[in-house]
Amino acid sequence: MPGSRGIDGVRLLGRLQALGAVGRGPDGALTRLAGSDADKHGRDLVSGWMREAGLRVEVDQVGNLFGTLDGSDAAADPVMVGSHIDSVINAGIYDGCYGVLAGLEVAQRFAETGAGLARPLTIAAFTDEEGVRFQPDMLGSLVHAGGLSVEAALASVGTDGATLGDELARIGYAGAMVPGTIRPSAYLELHIEQGPVLEHEGVRIGAVENLQGISWQRVTIEGDANHAGTTPIRMRRDAGLAAARVVTFLRDHVDASNAPTVATVGTMRFEPDAINVIPSRATFTVDLRDPDEDRLKAAEAALAAYLDRLARQDGVTVSTERLARFDPVIFDEGLVRRIEQAARARGLSCRRMTSGAGHDAQMMARLAPSAMIFVPSVGGISHNPKEFTEPADLVAGAEVLMDVVAELCGG
Amino acid sequence: MPGSRGIDGVRLLGRLQALGAVGRGPDGALTRLAGSDADKHGRDLVSGWMREAGLRVEVDQVGNLFGTLDGSDAAADPVMVGSHIDSVINAGIYDGCYGVLAGLEVAQRFAETGAGLARPLTIAAFTDEEGVRFQPDMLGSLVHAGGLSVEAALASVGTDGATLGDELARIGYAGAMVPGTIRPSAYLELHIEQGPVLEHEGVRIGAVENLQGISWQRVTIEGDANHAGTTPIRMRRDAGLAAARVVTFLRDHVDASNAPTVATVGTMRFEPDAINVIPSRATFTVDLRDPDEDRLKAAEAALAAYLDRLARQDGVTVSTERLARFDPVIFDEGLVRRIEQAARARGLSCRRMTSGAGHDAQMMARLAPSAMIFVPSVGGISHNPKEFTEPADLVAGAEVLMDVVAELCGG
């Protein structure tokens, strides 16, 4: 049994494993996409644990799930601790789930130890943070922060053709509460780093002071389907070749830019997709990120200029569609300082850092002073079954969270 | 009504349209893959026309469909005229079907005019020439020529997981005849050029003297799935990027080679195929062709060397699988000369040429003296709904075929 200054690490780790077992396919791979049956089972598990911890459970119209521990000051806005439990395809068990379950553990410890908070403490699991099935990503927190209407969110069409609204109703998580009803006084998100910096430097806690801007586009290139054996090279309009040129251009561009810009082409599709037919169409996505808005715009402009040149040189038709665009975010300086102080008070090494990934905190920063706490990711690996954080680091992060929440809630 | 020296062009063109209507999807696109329901309906139509023309219909164990007009010399090996009626995805109506239906038209005219052939004339529609669903391509004629066992052919697993054997049985075209039973004294194949040469030069008939060698490989590149936002560029093992580098390498290589080598990457797949995940795996096909075996080997070697270098430089794992490999083919000089003479006798301009595409004649050349006749393709377009040959050229090609067949069959 932990002391009143600690969390129950065994319980937290056990819940991470239990939630991580939900959504395994026949091959053992974890895929818990938003609105899926696996998402329903994960939500059932988490909301059950919330009730067990004595939290009041609420679900809003876009499926955001909240569990609140009441404080003595009924009029005070709550401190909110959140993240998400949807996953990418073939995912690890920590991304998102760690933040939700650590928040739940902190609330449960406060309830068990009779800490007597002044402000309420709300634990949030936001819908569709990953954006793999429904776009945009960070959908639930974006709606909560007023950046997207409930109607638009529910009408979002998934990669499988289903709408989010239908899927939430189907799995029983289309709630009645209007999104944004719970207005936090501060928002904290604890997360695995998903990158290699903390491990590489041997630092235990990251106090996240800003977050990269994100630009997602879908690019479609159209050429001519034609016979692979009889069409002379000079007469081809090969959409697949043009797409490959864009992929290598993006790498060359970021290699040459001497900036932290990253570019990724994660999806690619050729049509008609036959061995002996020159592709008439190639469709792919481009993910560009940079902590600096001007540099992010410059990368977008360089891509647009390259696509123009490619259309002229290869005789192909190029169109682009914006899938998501979020400016870089600067987190609340006061909260970042509290995180540093809490880490120091527990004897944990700490550094300020940038979040390379998008997180719900990015959206919540529009509503309330926000910041994030990172713990090391072994090998920097995430969005991968090999995603791993040492148990001691998971517990340490949750205890820093507990200390900052205790200060913010008061009482 | 045509004279005895001509074919019934209206009947031939009408059958091309009728067969071209079989296998249209809801969007109007023609896709008649081997062993599909559409293939069954196409086979029903063609075998019905064969019977109507007085031909004896036989089907072998791999679904090759034959219609024979008996000759007066019962002991003589037949002259065979063949091609295929399966199609690529979103195909035109001429590729393959023209050769089968023109052969049928020639046989029917001989029957109608009481030409009294000495040798039998067999019209063949070979199974799965395109190789889009089941590999290798030219499967039916390869089995007929003894290059692949019946067991291996029937066990071929399609892109949809079905086996050819099951599909042939399902559609009622798993025949009893042992493949290769019909041993031709000569093989002729009439086909649209599927390339731009005849049209560009204003020539009506191509006497095809050789055929490009074909090398098909599947390449799989494995890297690490990782988060697109947090993984520094220098730490990535991006399988999608490596695949794109191969695509651009192949184009650079053939551009620099000063040879007729062509290279095509027609299929491409990324895994896990998510916007914000670096691809852990890219799978694609490479189609290399050259009329010269040494140059084809050199292109394969250049690709292999590049893949080795890529594995070292990008830290990815590369594996290749051979899907098909056919040496270039030299057709029978005597038959090629007969085609030139027949064209000249009808006042049709003619040139010798290389086939850029693979054809069943490539397999049949292992068994019997073989050659091909080409007619112009408008715009050089094939494997595309815009595939088109002028009716006058379709009729001219069929009449050249008729004259060569009449000479070969004698009587």
Domain positions in chain A are 9-211+329-409, 213-326
Please give the biggest Cα pair distance in chain A. 80
B-interface mutation test, from A208, A269, A277, most B Cβ less than 10 A away:
A277
CA distance B17 to B21: 6
Do the Cβ atoms of A244 and B241 come within 8 Å? no
Closest C-alpha among B97, B107, B47, B32 to residue B360: B97
Shortest distance between the Cα of A294 and any Cα of chain B, in A, equals 17
Question: Which two structure tokens, joined as six digits, stand for B357?
Answer: 């595409």
Shortest distance between the Cα of B208 and any Cα of chain A, in A, equals 13
Percentage of residues in chain A having pLDDT higher than 90: 89
Mean pLDDT of A323-331: 92
Question: Which two structure tokens, joined as six digits, stand for B30?
Answer: 């023609």
Q: How many CB atoms lie within 10 A of CB B96?
A: 28
Burial status of residue B298 (CB atoms within 10 A of its CB: 0-12, 13-18, 19 or more) = middle
Identify the pLDDT of residue B38.
98
| Nearest Cβ partner for A380 among B231, B265, B382 | B231
Whether the CA torsion B365, B371, B373, B379 is positive or negative: it is: positive
Residue in chain B lying closest to A233 (CA): B262
Identify the pLDDT of residue A226.
85
Confidence of residue B4 (pLDDT cuts 50, 70, 90): low
Whether the CA torsion A269, A272, A274, A280 is positive or negative: it is: negative
Confidence of residue A301 (pLDDT cuts 50, 70, 90): very high
A-interface mutation test, from B32, B227, B306, B374, most A Cβ less than 10 A away:
B227
CA distance A250 to B240: 12
Answer whether residue A296 shows pLDDT above 80.
yes
Closest C-alpha among A269, A225, A223 to residue B95: A225
> Is B383 marked within a binding site?
yes
Cβ–Cβ < 8 Å for A235, B211: no
Annotated binding site for Zn(2+): which residue ranges of A? 84, 95, 130, 191, 383
Question: pLDDT per residue over B260-317, tens digit each?
Answer: 899 999 999 999 999 989 999 999 999 999 999 999 999 999 999 999 999 999 999 9
Cβ–Cβ < 8 Å for A82, A187: yes
Q: Where are the beta strands (DSSP E) in B257-367?
A: 262-264, 268-271, 277-278, 281-290, 317-326, 329-330, 350-355
Mean pLDDT of all residues belonging to chain A = 95
| Nearest Cβ partner for A90 among B231, B233, B272 | B272
A-interface mutation test, from B129, B217, B277, B326, most A Cβ less than 10 A away:
B277
Cβ–Cβ < 8 Å for B262, B356: yes
Confidence of residue B1 (pLDDT cuts 50, 70, 90): very low
Burial status of residue B1 (CB atoms within 10 A of its CB: 0-12, 13-18, 19 or more) = exposed
Whether the CA torsion A20, A26, A29, A31 is positive or negative: it is: negative
Single-letter amino acid, residue B68: T
3-state secondary structure (DSSP) of residue A264: strand
Do the Cβ atoms of A384 and B224 come within 8 Å? yes
Do the Cβ atoms of B267 and A285 come within 8 Å? no
Do the Cβ atoms of A383 and B255 come within 8 Å? no
3-state secondary structure (DSSP) of residue A204: coil
B-interface mutation test, from A30, A219, A275, most B Cβ less than 10 A away:
A275
Helices marked H in B69-195 — which ranges?
97-113, 139-144, 150-154, 164-171
Answer whether residue B173 shows pLDDT above 80.
yes
Show residues of chain B in contact with A267, CB under 8 Å. 270, 273-275
Show residues of chain B in contact with A217, CB under 8 Å. none
Single-letter amino acid, residue A341: Q
Answer whether residue B3 shows pLDDT above 60.
no
Domain A213-326 in CATH 3.30.70.360? The answer is: yes
| Nearest Cβ partner for B285 among A262, A275, A356 | A275
> Is B407 marked within a binding site?
no
Identify the pLDDT of residue A225.
87
Answer whether residue A230 shows pLDDT above 90.
no
Residue scoring higher pLDDT (B324 or A189): A189
Show residues of chain A in contact with B206, CB under 8 Å. none
**Third-level CATH fold of A9-211+329-409:** Aminopeptidase (3.40.630)
Do the Cβ atoms of A383 and B225 come within 8 Å? yes
Show residues of chain B in contact with A247, CB under 8 Å. 240-241, 244
Shortest distance between the Cα of A111 and any Cα of chain B, in A, equals 36
Mean pLDDT of B214-221: 97
Shortest distance between the Cα of B124 and any Cα of chain A, in A, equals 23
Percentage of residues in chain B having pLDDT higher than 90: 89
| Phi/psi of residue B205, nearest 5 degrees | -130, 135
Do the Cβ atoms of B233 and A254 come within 8 Å? yes
Mean pLDDT of A332-352: 97
Identify the pLDDT of residue A78.
98
Cα–chain center distance at B63: 16
Confidence of residue B2 (pLDDT cuts 50, 70, 90): very low
CB pairs under 8 A between A and B: 242
Lowest mean pLDDT among A80-94, A176-190, B164-178, B220-234: B220-234
Q: Give the CA radius of gyration of chain A.
A: 23
> Is B359 marked within a binding site?
no
Do the Cβ atoms of B240 and A269 come within 8 Å? no
Answer whether residue A167 shows pLDDT above 80.
yes
Answer whether residue A4 shows pLDDT above 80.
no
Answer whether residue B318 shows pLDDT above 70.
yes
Show residues of chain B in contact with A279, CB under 8 Å. 265-266, 268
Mean pLDDT of B188-197: 94
Mean pLDDT of A54-74: 96
Cβ–Cβ < 8 Å for B279, A287: no
Do the Cβ atoms of A225 and B384 come within 8 Å? yes
Predicted complex ipTM: 0.75
Identify the pLDDT of residue B361.
97
Mean pLDDT of B73-86: 96
| Nearest Cβ partner for A266 among B277, B380, B381 | B277
Identify the pLDDT of residue A2.
45
> Is B160 marked within a binding site?
no
- Residue B136, preceding peptide bond in cis (omega within 30° of 0): yes
Question: Which two structure tokens, joined as six digits, stand for A372?
Answer: 């994030």
Residue in chain B lying closest to A217 (CA): B275
